[in-house]
Structure 1
Amino acid sequence: MNGAPIRGLHHEPPGVDFSRMVVAGLRRRLGDAPPEALARVTILVNTSRMARRIEAALAETGATLLPRIGLVSDLALLLPPGRAPQPEIGGLALRLRLTTLVDAALRRSPDLAPPAAAFDLASSLATLLGEMQEEGIDPSALEAIDAGDLSHHWARNLDFLRIVADWQSRDGSLTEAGAQAVALDRLLDHWRAAPPADPVIVAGSTASRTPTRRLIRAVLDLPQGAVILPGLDGDMPDPAWAALTAEAPGEQDHPQYRHAALLAELGLRRADVPRWGDAGPVAPARNALLSLALRPAPATDAWRTEGPELADLAEACAGITLLEAPSPAAEAAAIALGLRGAVAEGRRAALITPDRVLSRQVAAQLDRWGIEADDSAGRPLNQSAPGRLLLHVAEMRGRPVEAEDLAILLKHPLTATGSDRLEHLAHARRLELELLRRNQTAFPDAAALAAWSGAPEAWRAWLGGLLEDLAAPTDGADLSDHARGHLDLVERLGAGPGGAPGGAIWDGTAGRLARRVADTLAEAAPERGPAPVPAADHARILGALLAAEEVRESYAPRPDVMIWGALEARVRTADLVILGGLNDGTWPDSPGVDPWLNRAMRRQAGLRLSERTVGLSAHDFQQAAAGPEIWLSRAVRDAETDTVPSRWLNRLTGLLAGIGPEAEAALGAMRRRGADWLAQGARLETPDHRHAADAAPRPAPNPPARTRPTELGVTAIETLIRDPYAIYARRVLRLRPLDPLRLGPDARVRGRAVHDAMEAFSRAYPDALPPEADARLHGMLATSLEDAAPWPGARRLWLGKFARVLPDLLTAEAARRIEGRPTALEEEGRLVLTEPPFTLTARADRMDLRGDAVAIYDYKTGPAPSEKQQKVFAKQLLLEAMMVQRGAFPGLTQRRVDEVAYLSIGSGYKAQRVETEDDLLEATYHELADLLLRYAEGQPYIARLAPDVMTYAGDYDHLSRFGEWDDTVSATIIPVGRP
């Protein structure tokens, strides 16, 4: 072997392809050694992505034997057979066992957190336990913390933390973190006894964890042990470098802190750490600029002295585009354009961002050009088809099935895939239209399904069984019962009637991963113990497990367009690298909330500080920003408020803005390049002028006379006055809006219940109010609400409000019983007009006889129309009074109208009288006849003719394409149909 020795600490600067440099340096050091020499090399990396990338880089050099490549967190590869310890308890089992202990502690201290938080608190305790075992911290360190003024709160927290502190003594099960610590101890003992003669290389780790630092020291002591640090900053002056670790705990949020701490621990200077490869960085001037910009906050005074001395500022900034978008959507559009432009030029391009929302928006924008990016992060399992199905079923268990949830379940793409899927969809569609929408079945159950005859018996029996089991009470069920019951429901749902269990649910990458999660939960569930667990807690645990898994497909759609996480910056490079989402709170991410220990307490205990995560993110940023061409992208505002630029972007722009004209010009050029891409992105969303001319006109359809309606109800007359187009769509085109699927306790339901209760009360007591009238009317409303509103919470709220209205309402009702007698309730009437030939119909809420006169009342649970609205639009009661005077109601002879009023029964009671003089009623008749005659003679049905203050969307606004025109635009008459 004629190459260089494989030994010692080495580094690679930012701006090199680290994986290729590892391979090139290894090849150079092996020299002309035989091929099997490479197979004797062991390379330990920090991520699986790094391992795959090194394998790919080796394959680029030709056919070769591969070295052993493992992870620094999984040392079983290096231990002799049988020496690798196996965890005695898995991660989920540990969290569930801790949940049992936390649940008992919460019962002792119920004011600390709700019972539903037990699993989340146990998860945070499991994380703390793993960190303590990883860092080698004795549990007694928690007892020694000085809480100062927070001693009272700390004492309560310490009761919970003793669950972790006493874990080894009380339980002693070897956790995954504990197994890794034992494996490292055994490996170091093994190496001390028999050091390996073959090369061992640690590549790409920043030594941010204590076990990794121990492993690095041990590797450096081996005869052929080498360590390669990624992204070591060689431009930072020695005094500034030394200041990173001069005082505890050091500048941990600096990108180079981990490297500086490791070198200080080893007693080395940067000059003692040579390069591993021989290729220089692609943008050395930019490396120097970034190094100065990212100095620790106390050392930014160096900007004044060192900033003007920076060389080649124009060259350093020439490859930088600064994109400051007005919104996340604009940012995504511009980024997608940049990626597409790179593809058109034959270059490889990558978006690096920790913001998964932004990455999905960019992927959606790329789809318009048929570009499917290679997304290394995949997508969360809970957003895949099997993940959504598992979670939806879990959330439906243990409570009445709602109509919307059932419709979603039946139309899920994995439902009934074990049987005839097309037949199932036909039955599901009919069920939705007839039972759920038309019949307004809010909580469909097996009985409602059995009474419905719109599908074959076998299908209804299959679905009825599912509905019964979904809604079955789960009181007393432990987590194992929930896991078994849930999986059984999912399998039956996927099978369909008579189909194979599961159907296609477990097919494909996502299906196999979902099944593994479900099986893992079922296996670990006994650790939760036999205590009853609410169904909602089972759904919450399953949701957390599904959200933690990522689905990565095995194929790469476009290897030249990539979407990476921040960690990928250490592994791979591209011709164009876009750093997206550069806002504080995203990059770097906001530190997670520790429910147990604040920063000072963590420092006392020797635990990792939040600044460590910020420093690692800063290192990723420094690596990614050292590429040949980069974009620095952010949105200056999100959906709610203005955003704050990432601290690293702020530093870079602040430095360039303050060190001289050349730097200011470079910054301006960066912004102009970004503005150009934003302008191009905005054009994608801006229609051309020729398209603007194609906007739909305000329609005024003019159908033939024979198709026009010859019968309307009194409530439809208001619609004819305000929005004639709605009458045209409903009565001429016969288009009816679907009834809502999502049913809820809205004003319509409450109004129907109040109408039914008042009708029943008036029929039962037409002459005089009974004793305890308030209790009787209250009971009648409760009965009607049982039928109309199957929501207990809403019923209690409405009954409470109604109880406050009762005294005033019954006082008024008693007075009305003296003046008259409720005679016609929900009475239907028909008035036939001769000119034009037309029938006016009505259904009056209530009409009281007062001798030879009639009083007409209409119940309102919302606000009654104002006097002005009654004169112009809301003519319902005036029309009913006019019909009474003309004998249109068969239950009443032609009579004089004595009183007309709206009875408002809402948050209070109010009777609002309507003026009904004879001349007004006569005028109303003639106005109606004139209105109907105009339409009979050919007046078009203008959309939104007199909307007044109508702010709600009409049922047919989308059909008339309202929005492409507004209420100020003149209507266009559109002849329709054959004369």
Structure 2
Amino acid sequence: MFEAHESRLFALPPGVDFPHALVAGLRAMLQGQPPEAMARITLYLNTTRMRRRVVQIFGQHGPGFMPRIRLVSNLAADMILPDLPPAVPTLRRKLQLTVLIDKLLEKLPDLAPRSALADLAESLTGLMSEMQGEGVGPEQVAALDVSDHSEHWARTRAFLTIISPFFTDANEPDSEGRQRRLALMLSELWQSSPPADPIIVAGSTGSRGTTALFMQAVARLPQGAIVLPGYDFDMPEQVWSGLADALTSEDHPQFRFQKLMSLIGAQPRDVALWHSTGAPSPDRNRVVSLALRPAPVTDQWLVEGPDLPDLPSAMQDVALMEAANPRQEALGIALILRDAAETGVPAALISPDRVLTRQVAAALDRWGIRPDDSAGIPLNQTAPGRFLRHIVRLPGQKLTSDMLLTVLKHPLTASAMERGQHLLLSRDLELKLRREGPAFPTGDDLITWAAAQRNEHALGWATALAGALDGLDMIGTLPLTDHVSHLRLLAERLSRGPAPQGTGELWNEVAGEAALQFMDELQAEAVHGGELTPGAFRDLFDSLISGKEVRAPMIAHPDVMIWGTLEARVQGAELVILAGLNDGTWPALPPPDPWLNRKMRLDAGLLLPERRIGLSAHDFQQAIAAPKVVLSRALRNAEAETVPSRWINRLTNLLDGLPMRGGPDALQAMRSRGKAWLDLAATMDRPLENAEPGLQPATRPAPRPPIAARPASLSLTRIETLIRDPYAIYADKVLNLRPLDPIRQTPDARDRGTVVHTVLERFVEERPAGENRQQARSRLLGLTKQVLEEQVPWPAARALWAARMERAADHFLNVDSATGGESVLVEGRGELTLQGLGFTLFGTPDRIDMLPDGKLHLIDYKTGSPPSEKEQKSFAKQLHLAALLAEEGGFKGLGPQQVAKITYVGLGSAGKVTEDDITPEKLEGVRDGLYHLIGSYARRGQGYPSRRAVFSERYPGDYDHLARFGEWEMTDPPDPQDVGEGHAP
């Protein structure tokens, strides 16, 4: 078949539909031969998708024979190999390495944190696979000279010698080691007995050592051939010779081909064209080839640039889309794909950024377009995967409200019972937990709550939950087999809910079946995983499940595809969109290697980190050669400005530097074509000019409810809110809206204030006669410990707040004894009715003392900083209003009493105290201000403006979202609107 060719090395240029041209070349070479000649060919391809496409193309030619099609990643297919045992499952090897690394971290705790155990096992698995693929043994790593390196690298080198048994155990080879042994066996067999029928390797770059070894064996066969994808026929001979140095050329797209040619003893001139199918744009290929030259020879731009063809013509089918942010980029891409679907143009989106491709798929969903996504869905993002990830986080710690509700709200929880009942019970339980707690609900808490409900399903539902969740905090270090068994049992119990048996819908449909298969594999291999803490098991489980994917069957649009970068070789789309072209995304940054640094890798004969960049560069060079291309990137991400991909930088710099060939004009035209789609995307997000008023930005609200609906009473503290944010009073007292407590109760400033006030209240009320300073201090700290134990379930908060109280104790006792007064009222309620307004002011000062002269001293404790003098004049009126209540006789048992002074006592780190003497004139001003304030809101014309005097945009408003703050600014005037009595709210 190949007698006419001296070389067995063929190639196709970038941009050619590789599977189509491959089949066309096979058929052309066998022209005139009998049909069964095709069946005698063995064709090795690089991916399953490539194989499917080749089979599809053969089918398009009608009935006939096909070659035997195999994958280079599975050389043992259809072979009987009695002397070669099956490969050890990758999962088993990963678990075995986890045990080894766990022991390493016990001896060297400074090597890495325990939370990195799963990541270290993953990276070590990859390193072992690479070592076996490249034919590098542990002895070569052990022989590395690390005298010039830090102690860290010496320790890791020593550790790598421990994995030697995995390389020498012939009965349990790794998949990559077994593949290499098979390649060596075939090479040896073919040397003595070469097959008479043709063997062809197509679509592979030979980037891995085992694959390159196999390709060498095929190239030596009399009827063996290699067909390279995306070979740059435009690169001069001297550039090819300059690629020999891996340190400077590893990141070049053609480096793999130069290395392969040197292995098989071929020269670039020996590479023949496989088929006459031409590239869609040979001129564009020349431009890209020059742009991607190795960095040391970019001076050739000056020499070869003027010889390039007319650049506007060469780049006429390329658009450059530079979006403001990833959302705009995704919407612009979706519009391009929608247009392609409507016009019947096969289009493919290629990007390594899975977040971006999911955003594009979501945007296409609005038009009912489902792309054919080759990657499928990560298992950990499916419903069963998320359910398992939630549950694996439960053991080993107390169950919190948010953890419980997260599980309850998952669609697979209690999936065997009627869904409406489950959601109703979950909602009622959530409201209870938000309002009343406890912070750490137990099974008894759930059953007690359920017993008080009227819903007949509540008790059985809560009992099932309690049986599943109780005792999880007692789980400690266990063998991996026990962790996996318990996880599966717990997941199935929660999925079936109160049903007596079954597993609910957990293992149903494609995602459930994939999750069940994953759990079966993990359970079968868990015996090799040693013992783990619940936290270590969680990290390991997350790492393992993140590597699984599910491809659910669906009816996808035939002309809209999403591919990974590797599938750029499976060209079959007229329009290709290369998205996410920012450095760090495409190409991705090399992952950190905790085992070997760059110099050690080079000395050991392993692949350099730049290898990934070179492979990405080759994928880019092939994809940009498609008939029509869109290059896309976002100028900013969520954190900062992005850096354009090095290939975009090279291409734009080359074009911009060739004005004599029309380069700047070509670049401007590329950007204009991309901007047209971005403008269309921006138009989609822009409100219509004749839009309804409801689509316009909201104005600053100042609702004016009827007088009868307005509050007839307020507390002392809410007067400050009425001054600063009247809209909050309207939402609270008129609309009766209350902010929900957070799902997860955490110790906050309000809880600390409650604890402090309880301690000080009891300290004053329980004061014994004749108590000295030391006794008072001991009693204060004892009360603090007792109240913390009763009211604060968080150990860390108890310790922190106890320490703070101990620091503030002397300050409090100094203030307590400074005036010589006697406490006559602690946390006592008082109220005052404003004459003529029908309004009641009420409040509960922390403490009222009677001074020796018979006057009152009002004290308020602040866990933070007390209000300043200016703040008291403007809005912090709490104690001044309390003084007014006292002088008007608002506190029962005290009668009208003259107030001498008020004091705010700060119990924070600064220990600040703010005092103010109360005079008749000052109190009269407070009275007038109160009557004026309340009287203003007793008139229908006075609205409740939002954020009236907050003084800072960071003021925490509970109702800012209801007021639609953000659509209006603080400088906007209020917009009074009558509400109620027939008016729209």
TM-score (norm 2): 0.94
Unaligned runs of 5+ in 1: none
By how many angstroms is 1:300 displaced?
1.4
Q: Which residue of 2 aligns with 1:416?
A: 414
- AA partner of residue 484 (structure 2): A
User: What is the aligned counterpart of 2:377 among 376, 379, 382?
Assistant: 379
Q: 1 CA distance for matches of 2:735 and 2:950?
A: 25
Q: 1 CA distance for matches of 2:380 and 2:671?
A: 39
By how many angstroms is 1:808 displaced?
1.7
Q: Which residue of 1 aligns with 2:675?
A: 675
User: What is the aligned counterpart of 2:807 among 800, 804, 808?
Assistant: 804
Deviations 1:251-302 (A, max 9, x none): 2211111112222222223333322222111101011111111111111121
Q: Is the 8 A contact 2:373 2:561 kept in 1?
A: yes
Q: How does 1:170-319 map to 2 (within 5 A)?
A: 173-192=172-191, 194-245=193-244, 247=245, 251-319=249-317
Structure 1 consecutive aligned stretches of length 4 or more whose deviation exceeds 6 Å: 1-7
Q: Is the 8 A contact 2:577 2:632 kept in 1?
A: yes
Q: Which residue of 1 aligns with 2:423?
A: 425
Q: Which residue of 1 aligns with 2:145?
A: 146
By how many angstroms is 1:690 displaced?
4.1
User: What is the aligned counterpart of 2:911 among 909, 912, 918?
Assistant: 909
Residues 268 and 171 (structure 1), Cα distance of their counterparts in 2 relative to 1, 3 Å cut: closer
Q: Is the 8 A contact 1:416 1:424 kept in 2?
A: yes
Q: Which residue of 2 aligns with 1:550?
A: 549
User: What is the aligned counterpart of 2:436 among 423, 434, 439?
Assistant: 439
Q: Which residue of 2 aligns with 1:53?
A: 53
Residues 312 and 643 (structure 1), Cα distance of their counterparts in 2 relative to 1, 3 Å cut: same
3-state SS of 1:679 partner:
helix
By how many angstroms is 1:540 displaced?
0.2
Q: Is the 8 A contact 1:882 1:925 kept in 2?
A: yes
Q: Which residue of 2 aligns with 1:619?
A: 618
Q: Which residue of 2 aligns with 1:641?
A: 640
By how many angstroms is 1:490 displaced?
0.8
Give identity over the alignment, percent. 46
Q: Is the 8 A contact 1:723 1:945 kept in 2?
A: yes
Q: 2 CA distance for matches of 1:154 and 1:835?
A: 84
Structure 1 window deviating more from structure 2 (118-127 vs 877-886): it is 118-127
3-state SS of 1:830 partner:
strand
Q: Is the 8 A contact 2:412 2:504 kept in 1?
A: yes
- AA partner of residue 528 (structure 1): G
Q: How does 1:853-892 map to 2 (within 5 A)?
A: 853-892=855-894
Q: Is the 8 A contact 1:303 1:659 kept in 2?
A: no
Q: Which residue of 2 aligns with 1:655?
A: 654
**Matching of residue 751 in structure 1 with residue 753 in structure 2:** yes
Q: Is the 8 A contact 1:858 1:902 kept in 2?
A: yes
User: What is the aligned counterpart of 1:893 among 895, 920, 925?
Assistant: 895
Q: Which residue of 2 aligns with 1:520?
A: 521
Q: Which residue of 2 aligns with 1:18?
A: 18
**Matching of residue 790 in structure 1 with residue 793 in structure 2:** yes
Q: Which residue of 1 aligns with 2:332?
A: 334
3-state SS of 2:937 partner:
helix
Q: How does 1:664-813 map to 2 (within 5 A)?
A: 664-691=664-691, 694-765=696-767, 769-770=771-772, 771-813=774-816
**Matching of residue 960 in structure 1 with residue 963 in structure 2:** yes
Q: Is the 8 A contact 1:769 1:814 kept in 2?
A: no
Residues 945 and 798 (structure 1), Cα distance of their counterparts in 2 relative to 1, 3 Å cut: closer
Q: Which residue of 2 aligns with 1:848?
A: 849
User: What is the aligned counterpart of 1:451 among 445, 448, 451?
Assistant: 448
- AA partner of residue 241 (structure 1): W
Deviations 1:507-563 (A, max 9, x none): 22222222222222222222123x4x2101000001011211122222252221222
- AA partner of residue 406 (structure 2): I
Residues 948 and 148 (structure 1), Cα distance of their counterparts in 2 relative to 1, 3 Å cut: same
Q: 2 CA distance for matches of 1:793 and 1:234?
A: 68
By how many angstroms is 1:165 displaced?
3.2
By how many angstroms is 1:64 displaced?
4.7
Structure 1 window deviating more from structure 2 (608-617 vs 948-957): it is 948-957
**Matching of residue 972 in structure 1 with residue 978 in structure 2:** no
Q: Which residue of 1 aligns with 2:97?
A: 98
By how many angstroms is 1:38 displaced?
4.1
Q: Is the 8 A contact 1:15 1:281 kept in 2?
A: yes
Q: 2 CA distance for matches of 1:733 and 1:599?
A: 66
- AA partner of residue 464 (structure 2): W
- AA partner of residue 792 (structure 1): P
- AA partner of residue 226 (structure 2): V
Q: Which residue of 2 aligns with 1:827?
A: 828
- AA partner of residue 378 (structure 1): G
Q: 2 CA distance for matches of 1:523 and 1:21?
A: 45
Residues 9 and 646 (structure 1), Cα distance of their counterparts in 2 relative to 1, 3 Å cut: same
3-state SS of 2:73 partner:
coil
Q: How does 1:55-134 map to 2 (within 5 A)?
A: 55-64=55-64, 66-80=66-80, 82=82, 85-87=85-87, 89-134=88-133
By how many angstroms is 1:195 displaced?
3.9
By how many angstroms is 1:586 displaced?
1.4
Q: Is the 8 A contact 1:353 1:565 kept in 2?
A: yes
Q: Is the 8 A contact 1:202 1:226 kept in 2?
A: yes
Q: How does 1:575-654 map to 2 (within 5 A)?
A: 575-654=574-653
3-state SS of 2:842 partner:
strand
Q: 2 CA distance for matches of 1:268 and 1:841?
A: 95
Q: 2 CA distance for matches of 1:273 and 1:515?
A: 49
Q: 2 CA distance for matches of 1:786 and 1:573?
A: 69
Q: Is the 8 A contact 2:867 2:914 kept in 1?
A: no
By how many angstroms is 1:670 displaced?
1.6
Q: Is the 8 A contact 1:5 1:29 kept in 2?
A: no
Q: Is the 8 A contact 1:3 1:30 kept in 2?
A: no
3-state SS of 2:670 partner:
helix
Unaligned runs of 5+ in 2: none
By how many angstroms is 1:120 displaced?
2.6
Structure 1 window deviating more from structure 2 (41-50 vs 678-687): it is 678-687
Deviations 1:726-757 (A, max 9, x none): 22222222222222213222211111111111
Structure 1 window deviating more from structure 2 (848-857 vs 744-753): it is 848-857
3-state SS of 2:711 partner:
coil
Q: Which residue of 2 aligns with 1:507?
A: 508
By how many angstroms is 1:606 displaced?
0.8
Deviations 1:467-495 (A, max 9, x none): 31433x22242222211111111111111
Q: 1 CA distance for matches of 2:174 and 2:3?
A: 43
Q: Is the 8 A contact 1:125 1:161 kept in 2?
A: no
Count the aligned residue pairs. 971
Structure 1 window deviating more from structure 2 (917-926 vs 422-431): it is 917-926
By how many angstroms is 1:321 displaced?
1.2
3-state SS of 1:901 partner:
strand
3-state SS of 1:902 partner:
strand
Deviations 1:151-208 (A, max 9, x none): 6443322221112235445896322222222332333344456544443321100011
3-state SS of 2:585 partner:
coil
- AA partner of residue 742 (structure 1): R
**Matching of residue 561 in structure 1 with residue 560 in structure 2:** yes
Q: Is the 8 A contact 2:725 2:945 kept in 1?
A: yes
Structure 1 window deviating more from structure 2 (580-589 vs 494-503): it is 494-503
Structure 1 window deviating more from structure 2 (576-585 vs 969-978): it is 969-978
Q: Is the 8 A contact 1:76 1:84 kept in 2?
A: no
Q: 2 CA distance for matches of 1:643 and 1:855?
A: 61
Q: 1 CA distance for matches of 2:183 and 2:297?
A: 38
Q: Which residue of 2 aligns with 1:466?
A: 468
By how many angstroms is 1:408 displaced?
1.2
Q: Which residue of 2 aligns with 1:946?
A: 948
- AA partner of residue 427 (structure 1): L
